Amino acid sequence: MTDAIKIDVWSDIACPWCYIGKRNLESGLAAASADDDAPEVEVTFHSFELSPDTPVDFDGDELDFLATHKGMPRDQVAQMLERVTGVAAEAGLEYRFDLLKHTNTVKAHELLHFAKEQGLQHELKERLMSAYFTEGRHLGRVDELVVLGAEVGLDADAARAALETGSYTDAVRADQAQARAYGINGVPFFVIDGQYGVSGAQPADAFAQIVRQLWAERAADPSDAESVA
């Protein structure tokens, strides 16, 4: 039996291009799954903080954050957000930067590691990104994260305990250390079978092509199927 293709994704729930990249990856894999010899793929998400110095309660909106913390003119920020909103719409996502609450994301990453142990990482990743970009939920607060976690099936008390004790902080830092080892300095970043790096929110067709090509190569030479990851 040919081993599944492993895709490791470094991303931040507060990264607009990461949500677009996630949706494009899913669309590409869905297209490839319709093939007669459909590739088997395992996707794992890893932590990356774009702005680790961001306070939990940022006083201002996304325009304020990018303008003041990144030194960008407000009109340039507005144009950039308009552009990414359009790209998101093409991927089927409705971004609401007018509602978005910029915050520190380390606790969200900790909860994702807890969810991974419960087999619910993918469900939580989707729920958090939707809550952040389309609903204006405050993902820096433990209470909000516990509620969202419960919505996808996590035990609320166990989730709260994991967040309040910082049980998964080391797991977040390990992901970040691995990103540095790979030389990743921007997200989304996709590491395929521990060998190929793909940067940015690539189109769905690109992801479909990559997994189809790798799967065909494995069928031709099964000895190449072992991942170095």
The DSSP line for 175-221 is HHHHHHHHT--SSSEEEETTTEEEES---HHHHHHHHHHHHHHHHH-
The pLDDT of 130-143, averaged and rounded, is: 98
Radius of gyration of the chain (CA): 18
Per-residue pLDDT band at 214 (split at 50, 70, 90): very high
Tokens of residue 175, six digits: 């992901």
* Helix/strand/coil for 45: strand
| CATH superfamily of the 5-225 domain | Glutaredoxin (3.40.30.10)
Torsion from C-alpha of 177, 181, 182, 183, nearest 10 degrees: 100
pTM for this predicted structure? 0.94
The pLDDT of 203-228, averaged and rounded, is: 82
For the chain, what are the domain ranges?
A: 5-225
Alpha-carbon distance 199 to 172, whole Å? 20
Which residues neighbour 199 within 8 Å (Cβ) at sequence distance 6 or greater? 186, 188, 189, 190
pLDDT at 228 over 70: no
